Every structure is written in C-alpha cells, then in structure tokens.
Structure 1
Amino acid sequence: MLTRVLAVVLAFGVVAPVAHAVEKGQVTNLPLPRFVSLKAAEGNVRRGPSLTHRIDWVFTRRDMPLEITAEHGHWRRVQDREGQGGWVHYSLLSGVRTVIVGEEMINLHQRPDAKSPVVAALEPDVVARLGKCEPDWCQLRSGGYKGWASKENLWGVARDELRD
C-alpha cells in the first residue's frame, strides 16, 4: 500500500517520520491506488470519465488485474501492467483480486517456501486468482491448481501487501 511519510518536529527540534493515512478515492473512500480485476469479457477504455469521451481501446481479457489510480462519479481511471489505461465504467470492474505472471515462468509451491514441493508451474501472462499474501509470497489458484508463489514475478499485488 502507498504510505506517505511526513516529518514532525518534536520537542527540542528532533524530527521524526510519521506515517500518514493512505490516499482515499473521493467517491468510494477506498485506498488509491488499488488493484481490481476486469469483470467483463470486454471493457471500453475511454479518454475521459463519460460516455462522450472517445474510446481509445478495449480491454478483452476477463479477470485481468488492473490498478485504479483515480475516481470520478461512476468512472475509474485504470492502468494495466504496461501502464496503458484510461477511464472505465465501474460496472466493468470487480473487487475479486487477480494477478498476472510476468515475463518468466513461476512455480507454485505447497507452502510459502522455495524448498517445498512444486505443485504446478505457471507460464508468463497467466492470470491467477489471488488468495493469502505474506511478506514475500502469495497463494494463487489457476487451472485447478492451488499453491504459493513468490511475489517477485507477479503484477496485481503490492510488494508490501499482506492478505488473510
């Protein structure tokens, strides 16, 4: 999660960092940025937050993870792992969390430990359902398999994100 740090001057001129609240969306009051997934098989990506804005392209992959970076009414500004994005109607998005495998194949392990047995291997660009996350590992489900993968080669989960 994104945390802003402010400096506070304490007595005797000592400066100490203080964690500031995460930025919140004006519409939902949820953290920004945050990850979601594409609920629909197709989603128009517009230049601005209304139907009158031009469609720049169409996302065509259901369950693809996206990052919300702004909110305006019923619209969310999103971007994919390549930084491409625009405005999408909120009805096309889901709070169900997914991740996408990066450029290298990853192993799913029985436990969050590189020495534990490998359950399956996921190829680049595979989309998997996100489960629990520890500091360096996340539990994933894909193709009928369930296991733990290192966060290193995943997009759709923050490096410091923990999930129960």
Structure 2
Amino acid sequence: MSVFLISTGGLAASAQDKRGPVTNLPLPRYVSMKAAEGNVRRGPSLTHRIDWVFKRRGMPLQITAEYGNWRRVQDRDGAGGWVHYALLSGARTVLIETDMLPVYANPSSSAQISAQFESGVVARLGSCTLDWCHVSAGGHRGWTLKSNLWGVDPEEVRE
C-alpha cells in the first residue's frame, strides 16, 4: 500500500473554515424564516420547480450553500432546497427537540424551573455557553441544555 502526500502550499482548511462565495459568511450556518411562507425550489432561480413551501415564520434553517441571491437550506429533518435570501433572517431561533423541556432560571439543572416547552416549539436563541443556551418563547425565558435544541452547533458559544 502506498501513501502519497500532496502539499497544498498552506494549511488545509477545516470544514469550520468554509465560507460562502457570496456573503463570505461561514457554511454551514443557521438562520430563520423571515416570511410566513417561502417557496423551496429545486435549483437557485425562479425557473426551477417549487418542491414545497415552508409555512412557519421563525423556523430555524441551516444554510448549506449560496448562489447569487439564493441559499440552499435544510430543516431539522434534512428537507430543503433553494430559497431566495429575502425570505431569510439572521435572527437565530431553535427548535425544541424534547417534550416538556425544563427551562431554568440559571444555567444549572439545580436552578428553579421557570417554564417547560413542548417539543416542536420554535424559540428565540440568546446567549450560549458550551453546554447551555438561553431561550425564549411565548413570554417565557430561561436556560436549557444545548443538546435539547436544533439550530445551534454543539461547540457554538454566543454572548
């Protein structure tokens, strides 16, 4: 068995270093639906067929590619396609993945429970430590374990 090493003239870029060719923002990254309804197309133009329609304002989505004014997105289940950038917002939201998820007054499971969120609730994402995130929905807010959320990377820290 032979092993060949090829020099690229510099350090290899990790997946975390990948940037969108249009925005120069990291790929993948999370955004949310700005519109109450958004067509999801097979390709990045109005001439491509509409495969389905996202119908939930605020739903978290992951951008995986960019082409002109179009962003390839996917939802929590991996369903997606191309959406016009005007339908998306940089406001961060997350999807609650655990039913009756306890939300604590402080980032500690021994803190007082301030609310419980049902599975499927879309919550606004606030600050995050390595393990905890501050979330708010329906007038309730508090801290929960990041592992119970979709729409935030496990290693992501937010102030």
Match of 1:61 among 56, 61, 74: 56
How does 1:114-153 map onto structure 2 within 5 Å? 114-153=109-148
Answer whether contact 1:128 1:141 (CA < 8 A) is retained: yes
How does 1:83-102 map onto structure 2 within 5 Å? 83-102=78-97
One-letter identity of the residue aligned with 2:47: T
Size of the aligned set, in residue pairs, is 150
How far 1:19 moved relative to its partner? 7.3
How far 1:105 moved relative to its partner? 2.5
Match of 1:78 among 70, 73, 77: 73
DSSP 3-state at the match of 2:61 = strand
Answer whether contact 1:104 1:153 (CA < 8 A) is retained: no
Counterpart-to-counterpart distance in 1, 2:30 and 2:100: 22
1:154 corresponds to which residue? 149
**1:79-124, CA deviations, whole angstroms, 9 ceiling, x for partnerless residues?**
0000000000000000000000114321110000000000000000
DSSP 3-state at the match of 1:91 = helix
Match of 2:104 among 98, 109, 117: 109
Percent identical among aligned pairs is: 61
2:26 corresponds to which residue? 31
Runs of at least 4 residues of structure 1 off by over 3 A? Answer: 17-21
What TM-score results when the alignment is normalised by the length of structure 1? 0.87
The root-mean-square deviation of aligned C-alpha atoms, in Å, is 1.8
What stretches of structure 2 of length at least 5 have no aligned partner? 1-10
DSSP 3-state at the match of 2:158 = coil
* Residues 49 and 18 of structure 1, relative CA distance in 2, 3 Å threshold: closer
Counterpart-to-counterpart distance in 1, 2:13 and 2:44: 32
What TM-score results when the alignment is normalised by the length of structure 2? 0.90
Counterpart-to-counterpart distance in 2, 1:19 and 1:135: 23
Counterpart-to-counterpart distance in 2, 1:18 and 1:51: 36
Q: Which has the higher strand share?
A: 1
Match of 1:46 among 41, 50, 58: 41
